Chains A and B, each alone.
Chain A
Amino acid sequence: MDLLAEAMREAIRLITTGDSDVYGITARTLAVTATSTLVAMLIGLPIGFALALMNFPGRRALVTLANAGTGAPPVIAGLAVSIMLWRSGPLGWMGLIYTPAAIVIAQAMIATPIIVAVSAAALMALPPHLRLQLRAMGANDAQYLWLLAREARLSLLIAIIAGFGAVVSEVGASMMVGGNIAGETRLLTTAAVVEVSRGHFGTALAFGFILLALIVAVSVVLTAVQQRARRT
């Protein structure tokens, strides 16, 4: 209990005194995970729509792959990105290893299958006669997709929340491809790992509290959006 109390005090101290290190790490965590989620949305949502609405060879295999991807260990993504971006690796010339960009790539790989699988499931769950009705009403392709997305909006938001949740709480891949360099690629999760290895449990817990607060804050905002969408 002493440890917990001490950690609380430390967390409050770090936050209230405006420790620039903590703010820097928190801001970077938000920026990196938001970018990863955005990239995963841009790739994942079109694939999710295609899997749900189109029929093409290999569709089932892709759905299975996406479903499997939702449970894939982040370390696998980290490993794959590391190998690609390693200085002597195929994309090593880009010089991205141990940069925030490398973390964004690895995290997007983690979030994309989640967004694909959840958004595809959401659209497939819409009543089939609804799709027929929209076409019958003379919706062109853009109107058709827009109205379907609107019908599935609550579930699509869950897809995005799930993708964000997976990357913001992930540590293995970020550690591997980012290198946990202070002031450059250190995130809340990787910072907590380092503090524990140094025996600074209080500081580690402080990072943990901030991370939790961050996830709760983002969930509150997105849930508010979701519930407002429900009423309209």
Chain B
Amino acid sequence: MIADAPALSVRGLRIERGGREVLHLERLNVGATETLAVLGPNGAGKSTLLRSAGLLLPAAEGVVALFGETPRRSRDRVRLRRMTSTVLQEPALLDMSVAANIETALTLHGVERPQRRRRAEEWLDRLDVAHLAGAHAHTLSSGEAQRVSLARAFAVRPRLLLLDEPFTALDPETRSRLVGDVRTLLHEERAAALLATHDQTEAALVAGRVLILLKGEVAQGGGVIDVLHRPATPEVAAFLGYSLLDAALARRLLEEGAQDPAAAGTTARMAAVHPDAVELLDTAAALEHAIRAPVLNVGSAHGSARVIVDVGAPLAASVAVERVVGTDLRAGAAVAIRLDPDGLVWY
């Protein structure tokens, strides 16, 4: 173990499953107190990356080092794993009381009995589940169980937390509170963390840096805000919820809205439009410089409505729910929209 070494360091990693490559990661460092969000759709290789970081998967090729050490033998892997904690989407609690679950984890880490009790109490309290200490683990709600699972993960004082979609299976209220709590705890504990998620808001709140995985490859990495506002490729943009338009179509839409398409330059072949950059106009106002388009679908996305209109290609607009409730805004209706040129990314 090397002092000040990155918590996780990956070089030339290739993981295969059933002869097919499921993850390729040329280079990744996670600093000793850094939180990195691993963002991607289902099946992109997020869990695979976290499992590799937890030394739980054999690599076809490449090196995974934890805290500057590359384990060679099984016992080294076990020793290094004990410096990490994993929280899975399903809180895998053992068939015993809540307190015993946490004490069992501490036992595996060689913590002495009197300290085990004290530390279990401390962490159940910090995750607001102290009142459940005596309850049987299998009687908890999913939110309570995930809190216990997180308490267990933090109680062993890991230097690297591997959080594999810990919030995905929770209802929105529970999820929101827990995201906030984990954000605070990661800051207080000053441990490194990897958070796998497909939720950009979660990633932005908890992590400083984000790695976007698509189909087992790194599609983009960098500061959270940079990545969310400047997706590097159309594929990343599509994953982040941008609509992809042919560049000529996007220029025409800007012109129809009397806006300057100059930003496009002449070489761009494609444009990605952020849903916030599509403004739904009051049809009553009957604006001259607006694009009229039929509605394809009105759905929900992140606490607002998502209206998809047909401008020759599907274009998603983020709209306040109030604009939709009690109106005729549904598939087949015609609306007027305008694009905000600042919300377009050209490729």
Contact = CB atoms under 8 A, between A and B. Distances in A.
Given A136-B56, A138-B78, A143 B94 contact: no
Contact of A136 (B79, B81, B95, B109): B81
A44 B317 CA distance: 62
Nearest to B75: A140
Interface in A110-141: 127, 129-130, 132-140
A127 B82 contact: no
Contacts of B109: 138
A15 to B, nearest CB: 41
A147 B89 CA distance: 21
A98 B51 CA distance: 57
A134 B156 CA distance: 14
Given A143-B108, A147-B104, A151-B95, A135 B90 contact: no
A129 B87 CA distance: 10
B92 A138 contact: no
B92 A133 contact: yes
A172 B75 CA distance: 50
Contacts of A138: 78-79, 81-82, 84, 108-109
Contacts of B78: 138-140
A147 B81 contact: no
Interface in A182-232: 232
A150 B86 contact: no
Interface in B83-111: 84-86, 88-90, 92, 94-96, 104-105, 108-109
B254 interface: no
Interface string A150-167: 110000000000000000
Interface residues on A, range: 10 to 19
B96 A232 contact: yes
A197 B54 CA distance: 68
B78 to A, nearest CB: 5
Nearest to A133: B92
Nearest to A230: B95
Interface string B131-165: 00000000000000000000000001000001000
B86 to A, nearest CB: 4
Contacts of A147: 94, 104
Interface in A84-115: none
Interface of B: 51, 54, 56, 75, 78-79, 81-82, 84-86, 88-90, 92, 94-96, 104-105, 108-109, 156, 162
Interface of A: 127, 129-130, 132-140, 143, 147, 150-151, 232
25 contacts: A127-B90, A129-B89, A129-B92, A130-B94, A132-B88, A132-B92, A133-B86, A135-B81, A136-B54, A136-B85, A136-B86, A137-B85, A137-B108, A138-B78, A138-B79, A138-B84, A138-B108, A138-B109, A139-B108, A140-B78, A147-B94, A150-B94, A151-B94, A151-B95, A232-B96
Given A132-B92, A138-B109, 17 more contacts: A127-B92, A129-B89, A130-B92, A130-B94, A132-B51, A133-B88, A133-B92, A134-B92, A136-B54, A136-B81, A136-B162, A137-B105, A137-B108, A138-B81, A138-B84, A139-B108, A147-B104
